Amino acid sequence: MKRITISILLFVGLFSCQTDEDVSMNTFTSLEDLSVEIVNPAETSEQNFSDNSILFRGQIIGDSDTDYSDLTARWSSQYDNVIHQSKLNSQGESSFTHDALSLNLHNIKLEIINEVDSVITDSINVFNAIRLNPIEKNNSSLNLSWETFDDEQFISYDIYRSFSDSNMMLGDPIHTILDIRQTTFNDTTAIIGEKYYYQIRMNRNSNENPFFDSNIRDVVAGKTIKTNYPILKLIKDEQRNFAYGIVNTESIWSDNRTGYGFIFIDLEEFEIEKRILTSVRFSDLDIDPSGNYLYLASRSTTIHRIDLNTKQLETTLTLNRSAHKLEVGSGGRLYYHRTPPTSGGTQFGMYDLETNSNLPYVTTMNYDFFRHGDFEIDENDIIYHGGSNSSNSRLSKIGTSNDAFSLLNQWDSRNYQSARIVINNNKIYWNHFILDTNLNIMGTFQNENGDVNIKDVSPNGDYALGWRSVWETSNQTKVKEIPADFDLGIFSTDSQVILSKTDSPLSEEYESLIIQYDFR
């Protein structure tokens, strides 16, 4: 029994009937206001046909009271020419069984012809040599499979991939298979978020039929969410299968016409569940150690607190000074970096979450003018701040004992660094450096393009997410190159990352792509 896949081509030609003086006195069946449809094999059906035997059936769509028995049905293929021709029955139906269709990709056309040779048509594609099944996809690859026959003239399968279905064979195949029994292929190089078209060509040792082509299938690679707004920062909820994101841009001067706010991303369904506070331009966020609340800074004196159990705004807090970065400590303190000017630096601040009060600024530091950058805190509420400025590239370790800031250590990288610090398993990840908590270098990440900008580290500490790749932290070697371009990235599990890429605005509108990717 041979399996054959049928897909209906959405093309129906309708021509009005015209007469001349020679036939004006003859009676004929007008095709005006009529159409024809191939009803078997059915649209998008996947049926088994024994010995290549196929039941074809077409039906006139029109007035049910008309006798259509004077009309002729002609069925043809571009390879086998006319495969059947006969009169319709009175109800306007043509049917026949055909078991001699040659092995190939056939465009079967049904033409209905009246007494003066006016024609209406419909057509279908029949794949009875090689059939590409619907493409299955997961977070990291596309799985192709196809069915064919046991061909003694087989040479190879060529797998073609294109961004358009009109030029499938213009480029080289992405893969070649020499074993006729291997009818699957796992494509791990398709760029996530892109739409691709695939086709399989069977190459044969035959002058008459040197190859057979499969049908064409299309698919969008990867598991993605598209939005019409920019994403500034992402954070994973360790207690819930959720991630949270800030809707904003990198530039403090940008006018985001798509609005601002905060989004909840359901990682199980991989969808944006809701978006709130769309008029607030947030700059940073952090979850408190209890996991119940999330705090958001907005380059102002207002801090928003979200109840993660109800997913609603619970309250707002008011600081003495505006904040652009924040972290919530284990001792009931909220630490924030005061919003700096366009150039220059500012100090840190402290807020008591238990008494809802601002704490006075107390310091033993001679150096307390911290420039643009990022900061994180460890389980002992020690701050690690990395400057991200052409004139300041210091990594500072700052104590907070007794609600006073003290400079415990400082290291100057002497190179401009991007604003991202990750603390994981008593290690500090800053750009391409791994340092211990005393700011001693333990390793560096490098690739052929230079430094690797580490964006996040897996919960178990084994992997780091850097420039388009996942790296082993123990030896700083590349584990997996990710087929996607992204600005932001976080680990959702030890083997899965959530990525985000925001395109430049067109006509004052943004488009972001959020990606879920399994790298193991």
Least confident of 190-199, 209-218, 225-234, 271-280: 209-218
15 pLDDT above the threshold of 90? no
Distance between CA atoms of residues 243 and 161, nearest Å: 33
Amino acid found at 156: S
Averaged confidence pLDDT in the chain: 88
pLDDT single digits (tens) 405-451? 999 999 988 877 777 899 999 999 999 999 999 999 999 998 887 77
> Residue 66: exposed, middle, or buried by beta-carbon count in 10 A (0-12, 13-18, 19+)?
middle
Mean pLDDT for 323-337 is 95
pLDDT-above-70 percentage for the chain: 91
Distance between CA atoms of residues 80 and 516, nearest Å: 48
Q: Nearest-CA neighbor of 230 among 245, 243, 249?
A: 249
Q: How does residue 21 score in pLDDT terms, banded at 50, 70 and 90?
A: very low
10 pLDDT above the threshold of 50? no
pLDDT single digits (tens) 279-308? 999 999 999 999 999 999 999 999 999 999
Report pLDDT for 507.
65
99 pLDDT above the threshold of 80? yes
Q: How does residue 343 score in pLDDT terms, banded at 50, 70 and 90?
A: low
Both tokens of 309, joined, read: 């159990």
Q: Nearest-CA neighbor of 36 among 6, 56, 55, 53?
A: 56
Distance between CA atoms of residues 27 and 25, nearest Å: 7
Report pLDDT for 234.
97
Measuring CA to CA, how many Å separate 6 from each of 98, 133, 212, 240, 514? 15, 11, 16, 45, 35
Q: Are 324 and 373 in contact (CB under 8 A)?
A: no
SS3 391: coil
Report pLDDT for 46.
46
* Prediction pTM value: 0.78
Report pLDDT for 450.
73
156 pLDDT above the threshold of 50? yes
Greater pLDDT, 2 or 477: 477
